[in-house]
Structure formats: C-alpha cells, structure tokens
C-alpha cells in the first residue's frame, strides 16, 4: 500500500445494477497491514449483516472499481477515488499466533456498515489470503465506549403515549419500543455534554416489518440550532425482529463532537407508522476478538494465519511465573479480608505462606493429563497448573479447583462435585467439556474444547443453578479467573469489606460533584468504583441516581442495600427515613398491587426503633413526620407546583419546578437530587419518567453554568 502505516480514504459512488444513475455513497476507509505495508490489488469483505463487497485497485491505489451487494441481495456497481490518507493507521490490531510483534495484523475497513466478519485480499506481488473475524457482542464488550447513557432527553415528532410506546423507551433495553403514527418522523437526543459518535445501532421492533425505517439522516449540532449531516442512509432493511444493525460514521463527521443528535426518518418500508425498539450511540468502533484463516505468498502454498486482538491478551497471566505473581497477590487479598471459615478448605500451611494453592505440576504430570484427555490443554490453563496443581478458593462461590489428578471430561466424571450432563443439554456449548472445578456453591467451571481461539485458548464458562444455567462466555481460563477476581472485589466492597479501600473518599466526592453538575454517567462510574472500595454512601447514591433514570425496581435495590450496616452508618438513619423509605415504597407500589404493604413488612428488620406503620393513614403521617425540608426557595416552588397540579395544570407545575431546579442544593453531604420529586404523590402527574430523567441531567447547587 504505502511504505508507512496508513489508511486510505476514498470518496465513492454507486448505482444499482441495470440503472444509469450514479449516486454519492459512503466513504470507504481501508487500512491493511499483515506484518508490513501491502500494495493491494483486490480486497473483498462480508459484514455482520450479510452485505458483501469486492473492489479492485489501480497500481497506485488512487482509484477502485467493484461491486456491493446489500443484505437483501440487491447488487450495486461501486467505484471510488482517493480523497486522503490517514497516518498512524487506526483500526484493529491483532497479535498473530506464532509470530513476533513484527507479524501483527493491522486492519481497518469502514464502509459505513456493520463490522467486516470475512476478508479476502490479493496483493500486487502475487500473494493474498482470506480470514474470518469474530466480533465481540456489544453487551459483553468491556470497552464499548457507549455514550447512550449521556442522553438526558429524547423527543419525537410523534409517539403512541396511550400505549406507553414513547421515545424514552429507546434508551432502555427493558422497554418495548417507540411508535409514531406517521410514515416520516424525527427523534432528537440531547446529551449532557458534546460526544464523538463513531457508530450507532438501531434495533428493529417486535412486529410488522413495514414499520421499519428505510431512509434516514443522522445530524449533529453543538447548540441545537445549526445542524450538520453526519450520516445518510437509503434502502436499508431489517431482515428480522429485535435485530440490531450497526451504522458507522466516516469522514470528518466521525471526528467532531456534538451535544445534540437528530435522527430524521424520511421513509419506512411501506406502512403507515414507524417503530424502533432501541437506539444506541458509541464513541468507538465495534471490537473484534480474533481472526483465523490462511495467507500465501507468490508461488507458495497457503499457510494458516490466525491471531487474537491485542487488548484481549494484554495484562492477563500467560506464563507459570506470571500466574505465581498474580495468584500470590490474589491469595494475600483474600486472606486479608475474609474470615477463617470463609475459606473452608485452606490449610494452616497455606495461610501461613499466604498462598491458597499448591505446588506447581511438573511438565511430566501435565503431559500425563494431556495423554489421558487425548488433547493438549489450552495455554493459560496449562501454565496455571504449572504454577499451582489445583487451588483452594478462587472467590466467594468457588471453593476448589481440581488438580491434574482429578480434572477430566464432564462425561467421564462421576464424583459428587460434577454436574449432571443433562443440565447442559440445551446450552450453547460445542464440546467436549472439561470440568476444572471441584467443590463450589452450586456452580461449576467449564472449558469448552470445541470453542478454540487462534492462540489455542478454550472458551470458559461458569454454570450455576442460581443463574440459572450457563453464564457469559469468557475467551480463556485466564479471562474467567480475572472476571472472578473482579467479581470478588465488587462483592466484598459492597459488603463494606473492600479489598483495596484507598481512594474511596476521593471517588465519592468526585461522584457527588459530577452528580450536581448533571454529569450522570461520570457520577455513576465514580460511585461504582467507590462502592467497590467499600463506600456505603456511594452505593446508596448510585441507587438514588438510578431511580431518577427508572424508578422501577428501586425497592429491590434499596432493600438489599439498607441491610448492610455500613450503608446506614454512612448515610444516617435520618436521611434513610426521609428519603430512602418513601423511595422504596414508591418503587414497590409500582411493581404490583399490594407491593407497598410487602415493602413495609420488609422494612421491619432495617429501621431501628419504631418501624414504618402498615396502616396507610398512619404510614402517611409517619412519612410526613420524617420528611426533611428542601432548600427554602425550592420548597416554595414545590408548594406552588402542588397547587397547580391539583388544578390539573401539570405542565405549568413542571415549568415552576424546572425553573427552580438549578437553585436546588444539598442540605446534607449525601444528598445529590430532590428525591421528593419521585415520592410526593401530589406531584405524580407532573414528574413523568422523562422529566425525572431531566432532573438529574440538570446542573444543580450552583453549577447551573456547567
């Protein structure tokens, strides 16, 4: 391609087969380096949606000609000319199996559609190859960089409010959909700050494909008045229901930041209405896990060509020495924070040595196990056994990992610590399945020998009766151990026994500041990290903030939270009575008839002294007695709003609250928002779910200019 690592950006045109009109298309950005710069003659790919393309380049790679076939089978002629090159090739980097750093694969193909999952190429030296790529599911990606959570408000030209099919549903996976009675309409998203959008996802709704969007324009704006076109689509289809489709931005649009995003749907698939289930925005590209295929040079036979994404292997223990360091640190953490009976299988020698494992297995013993199994073990599990032949306690629910003597195929084991194979009959496993765990809390650790990454790693799973069933897929045994360690630290932090408490107060303060500035995502992230470090106040404030985003289920979260002594100690019983109790009752009352009464009974073991009365009239009096006044100006605004609401003027009541909201300030350290807006029955018609969301995105407490 070029001597230095670059990506080439082409302006494109396309036309349907058999027609004479060329139409401007999405830019095509191509970067491809299998160990070094390659002068491409041809490149072909198929994307996640099933669309395909193949292009041929001129010798200088300044133009291309080719064809594109959309997911519905429509064929288009395609051509392009070079617009510019991008230095320091962006895109995806893979560590090639069996190669050194110089053999890394760098890959970038952006044509505005979903990620490529199959790529073939031919270079001008007579070489080439083909690979398939495995993408990481957006729900499982650790660094997806989703910015949808920064949306403070979503509006639509029209929505089916009577059925609850409103625009706000597009932000919540638990909701149904948005439906408009029009065949062309718009959605406008306002974020808490400008964001960079690299790709977005639209999810088709549950019924009637003729309601799916077909033509649309995505626009961005810094001020909500002047709009820039970011993406234009036409003749798009959604082949199935509840189907997520990716759309990538290219060119300068992907490099700028916008606080307002507007999706203008100019046409659907023929019906009188438009519907969508979900809209998501991301500041990074979709990520890959691995690739596998073949590569050849001129005059030579094809050779296997495989690799794993760099960011997935970085930082994970790989050698026996790395495992010993990693496990020694983990052992020390567990012995420091857990009581003696919480590590039931640990011996006195292990406690004294601060090592919850055993002697490492010799190479001969590991080789003997592999001979018994009839296959070579995956690298990270093999090196784990070399560091420790089995293990005592790997977390809160896994008490023992098997040794080389007892590990075996699930179908061959008949001891009491092996699950019935019938439990896994309908799970998504290739098999055979290796059982590496022993005693545990109704859970088992499994390695799937049929699901192998290019670097030889086997997919790893936890099966537990209380999930129920099979948990999420981990790429390797090392990934599973790392996830268990992270879960252990999160669980202990939530109980007030943090593994690493340093920095909790700083994170709590950071979360409070972010919350008052209306930076909801930043606040939630800071509170989560502080909670892992043992902050009960952060755990509480995280639930309060989440209640404004969606009050349903808040009572479940609060019930579990308020039982933890360190939460009540940090927040204080006065605030719990004034804020948490009415919020818990509000959430419970939404769930089902009689839910509030059930919640009152659950509160008996939480609140010290006289509890919350079960009789409704007495309960109202108790709540009024324990209510803490708001700041004076905001209290006056609430009184005015209640009067307007009583006369049926809900919009006018909200206008009063909205005007007063920036002046609200916390009267105690662990208050971040006026919870009364969620719990006051008189304001129920006023504070809709969309307006409740707006509350926490509004800067408060002197931060109105943020």
Last residue of a domain, one of 282, 298, 327: 282
Residue 654 lies in a domain: yes
Asked whether residue 686 falls in the same domain as residue 671, the answer is yes
Give the CATH number for residue 375: 3.40.1580.10
* DSSP conformational letter for 629: P
User: Is residue 23 pLDDT above 50, yes or no?
Assistant: yes
Contact yes or no for 376/457 (Cβ under 8 A) = no
Quote the pLDDT of residue 466.
81
Q: What's the distance, Cα to Cα, between the start and end of the chain in Å?
A: 47
Asked whether residue 625 falls in the same domain as residue 676, the answer is yes
Last residue of a domain, one of 282, 301, 326: 282
DSSP string, 500-516: --TTHHHHHHHHHHHHH
Residues 6+ apart with CB under 8 A from 433: 409, 410, 411, 424, 446, 447, 448, 449
Quote the pLDDT of residue 669.
85
- Own/partner pairs, 641-647, CB within 8 angstroms, 24+ separation: 641/683, 641/686, 642/680, 642/682, 642/683, 645/682, 645/683, 645/685, 645/686, 646/682
Q: What average pLDDT does this structure show over 257-274? A: 95
Asked whether residue 132 falls in the same domain as residue 181, the answer is no
Asked whether residue 69 falls in the same domain as residue 88, the answer is yes
pLDDT digits over 632-641, tens only? 999 999 999 9
Residue 267 CA to residue 245 CA, distance in Å, equals 17
Q: What average pLDDT does this structure show over 573-590? A: 79
Residue 688 lies in a domain: yes
User: Is residue 132 pLDDT above 90, yes or no?
Assistant: yes
The distance from CA 98 to its chain's CA centroid, rounded to whole angstroms, is 31
Asked whether residue 538 falls in the same domain as residue 662, the answer is yes
pLDDT digits over 595-635, tens only? 566 666 666 666 655 566 666 676 677 777 778 888 999 99
Using a pLDDT cut of 90, give the percent of the chain over it: 57
Q: Residue written as tokens 């997806």? A: 144
Q: Residue written as tokens 């051509």? A: 79
Asked whether residue 305 falls in the same domain as residue 331, the answer is no
Residue 448 lies in a domain: yes
Quote the pLDDT of residue 595.
56
Residue 383 CA to residue 370 CA, distance in Å, equals 13
Asked whether residue 53 falls in the same domain as residue 103, the answer is yes
Q: Is 588 in a helix, a strand, or coil?
A: helix
The distance from CA 411 to its chain's CA centroid, rounded to whole angstroms, is 35
Quote the pLDDT of residue 152.
87
Asked whether residue 325 falls in the same domain as residue 293, the answer is no
Task: Kindly indicate the confidence band of residue 239, based on its pLDDT and cuts at 50, 70 and 90.
Answer: confident
Look at the alpha carbons of 184, 190, 194, 198 in this order and tell me if their dihedral is positive or negative: negative
* Residue 104 belongs to domain spanning: 6-136+289-310
Task: Kindly indicate the confidence band of residue 556, based on its pLDDT and cuts at 50, 70 and 90.
Answer: confident
Asked whether residue 557 falls in the same domain as residue 609, the answer is yes
Contact yes or no for 705/663 (Cβ under 8 A) = no
Quote the pLDDT of residue 606.
64
Residue 141 lies in a domain: no
User: Is residue 161 pLDDT above 80, yes or no?
Assistant: yes
Residue 11 lies in a domain: yes
pLDDT digits over 473-523, tens only? 999 999 999 999 999 999 999 999 999 999 999 999 999 999 999 999 899
Task: Kindly indicate the confidence band of residue 284, based on its pLDDT and cuts at 50, 70 and 90.
Answer: confident
Quote the pLDDT of residue 136.
84
Give the CATH number for residue 181: 2.60.120.260
pLDDT digits over 445-459, tens only? 999 999 999 889 999
Residue 159 CA to residue 275 CA, distance in Å, equals 9
Residue 169 CA to residue 153 CA, distance in Å, equals 11
Residue 421 lies in a domain: yes
Asked whether residue 575 falls in the same domain as residue 676, the answer is yes
Beta-sheet strands, E only, within 71-175: 75-87, 92-96, 105-110, 116-123, 128-135, 151-156
Nearest to 200 by CA among 152, 234, 159, 249: 249
Last residue of a domain, one of 474, 494, 514: 494
Q: Which of 24-38, 533-547, 678-692 tops mean pLDDT? A: 533-547
How far is the CA of 37 from the CAs of 31, 106, 119, 702, in angstroms? 9, 10, 17, 55
Residue 687 CA to residue 691 CA, distance in Å, equals 5
Quote the pLDDT of residue 174.
76
User: Is residue 147 pLDDT above 50, yes or no?
Assistant: yes
Asked whether residue 328 falls in the same domain as residue 270, the answer is no
The total of structural domains in the chain comes to 4
Quote the pLDDT of residue 2.
41
User: Is residue 55 pLDDT above 90, yes or no?
Assistant: yes
Residue 499 lies in a domain: no
Using a pLDDT cut of 70, give the percent of the chain over it: 91
Task: Kindly indicate the confidence band of residue 296, based on its pLDDT and cuts at 50, 70 and 90.
Answer: very high
Contact yes or no for 678/583 (Cβ under 8 A) = yes
Residue 676 CA to residue 535 CA, distance in Å, equals 24
Nearest to 319 by CA among 407, 402, 386, 365: 386
Residue 703 lies in a domain: no
What does pLDDT average to over the chain? Answer: 88
φ/ψ of residue 283, rounded to 5:
-95, 0
Task: Give the helix ranges, DSSP H, for 236-319.
Answer: 310-313
pLDDT digits over 344-402, tens only? 888 899 999 999 999 999 999 999 999 999 999 999 999 999 999 999 999 888 999 99
Asked whether residue 674 falls in the same domain as residue 540, the answer is yes
Comparing 221-235, 241-255, 333-347, which segment has the lowest mean pLDDT?
241-255
């Amino acid at each position: 391609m070029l001597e230095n690592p670059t990506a080439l950006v082409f302006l494109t045109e396309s036309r349907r087969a058999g027609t004479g009109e060329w139409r401007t298309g999405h830019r095509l950005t191509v970067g491809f380096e299998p160990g070094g710069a390659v002068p491409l003659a041809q490149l072909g790919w198929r994307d996640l949606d099933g669309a395909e393309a193949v292009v041929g380049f001129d010798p200088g790679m300044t133009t291309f000609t080719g064809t594109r076939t959309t997911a519905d089978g429509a064929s288009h002629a395609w051509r392009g000319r070079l617009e510019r090159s991008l230095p320091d090739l962006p895109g995806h980097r893979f560590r090639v199996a069996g190669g050194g750093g110089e053999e890394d694969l760098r890959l970038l193909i952006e044509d505005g559609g979903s990620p490529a999952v199959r790529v073939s190429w031919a270079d001008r030296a007579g070489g080439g190859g083909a690979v398939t790529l495995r993408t990481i599911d957006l729900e499982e990606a650790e660094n997806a960089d989703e910015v949808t959570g920064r949306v403070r408000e979503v509006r639509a030209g029209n929505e089916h409010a009577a059925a609850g099919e409103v625009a706000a549903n597009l932000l919540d996976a638990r909701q149904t959909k948005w439906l408009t009675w029009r065949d062309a309409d718009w959605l406008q998203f306002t974020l808490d700050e400008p964001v960079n959008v690299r790709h977005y996802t639209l999810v088709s709704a549950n019924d009637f494909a003729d309601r799916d969007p077909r033509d649309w324009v995505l626009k961005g704006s810094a001020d909500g008045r002047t709009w820039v076109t970011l993406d234009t689509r036409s003749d798009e289809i959604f082949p199935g229901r509840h189907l997520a489709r990716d759309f990538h931005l290219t060119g300068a649009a992907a490099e700028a930041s916008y606080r307002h995003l507007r999706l203008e749907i100019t046409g659907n698939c023929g019906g009188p209405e438009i519907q969508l289930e979900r809209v998501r925005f991301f500041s990074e590209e979709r990520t890959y896990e691995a690739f596998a295929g073949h590569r050849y040079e001129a005059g030579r036979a094809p050779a296997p060509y495989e690799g794993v994404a760099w960011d997935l292997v970085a930082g994970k223990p790989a050698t026996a020495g790395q495992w010993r360091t990693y496990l020694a640190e983990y052992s020390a953490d567990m012995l420091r924070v857990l009581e003696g009976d919480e590590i039931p299988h640990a011996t006195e020698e292990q406690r004294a040595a601060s090592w919850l494992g055993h002697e490492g297995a010799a190479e001969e013993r590991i080789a003997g196990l592999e001979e018994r199994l009839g296959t070579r073990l995956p690298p990270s599990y093999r090196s784990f056994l070399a560091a420790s032949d089995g293990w005592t306690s790997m977390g809160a629910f896994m008490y023992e990992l098997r040794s080389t003597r007892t590990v075996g195929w699930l179908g061959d084991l008949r001891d009491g610590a092996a699950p019935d194979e019938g439990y896994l009959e309908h799970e998504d496993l290739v098999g055979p399945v290796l059982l590496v765990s022993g005693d545990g809390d109704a859970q088992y650790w499994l390695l799937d020998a049929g699901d192998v990454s290019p670097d030889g790693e086997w997919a790893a799973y936890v099966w537990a009766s209380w999930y129920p069933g099979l948990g999420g897929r981990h790429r390797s045994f090392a990934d599973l151990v790392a996830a268990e360690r992270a879960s252990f630290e999160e669980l202990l932090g939530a109980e007030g026994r943090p593994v690493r408490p340093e920095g909790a107060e700083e994170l709590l303060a950071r979360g409070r500041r972010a919350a008052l500035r209306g930076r909801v995502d930043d606040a939630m992230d800071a509170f989560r990290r502080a909670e892992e470090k043992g902050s009960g106040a952060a755990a509480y404030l995280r639930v309060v903030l989440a209640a404004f985003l969606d009050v349903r289920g808040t009572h479940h979260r609060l019930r579990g939270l308020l039982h933890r002594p360190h939460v009540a100690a940090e927040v204080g019983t006065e605030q719990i009575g004034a804020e948490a109790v009415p919020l818990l009752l509000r959430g419970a009352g939404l769930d089902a008839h009689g839910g509030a009464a059930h919640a009152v009974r659950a509160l008996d073991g939480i609140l010290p002294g006289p509890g919350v009365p079960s009789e409704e009239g007495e309960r109202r009096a108790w709540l009024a007695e324990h209510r803490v006044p708001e700041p004076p100006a905001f209290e006056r605004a609430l009184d005015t709003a209640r009067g307007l609401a009583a006369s049926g003027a809900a919009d006018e009541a909200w206008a009063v609250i909205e005007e007063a909201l920036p002046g609200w300030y916390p009267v105690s350290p662990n208050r971040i928002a006026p919870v009364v807006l969620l719990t006051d029955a008189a304001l129920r018609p006023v504070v809709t779910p969309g307006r409740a969301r707006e509350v926490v995105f509004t800067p408060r407490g002197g931060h109105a200019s943020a």
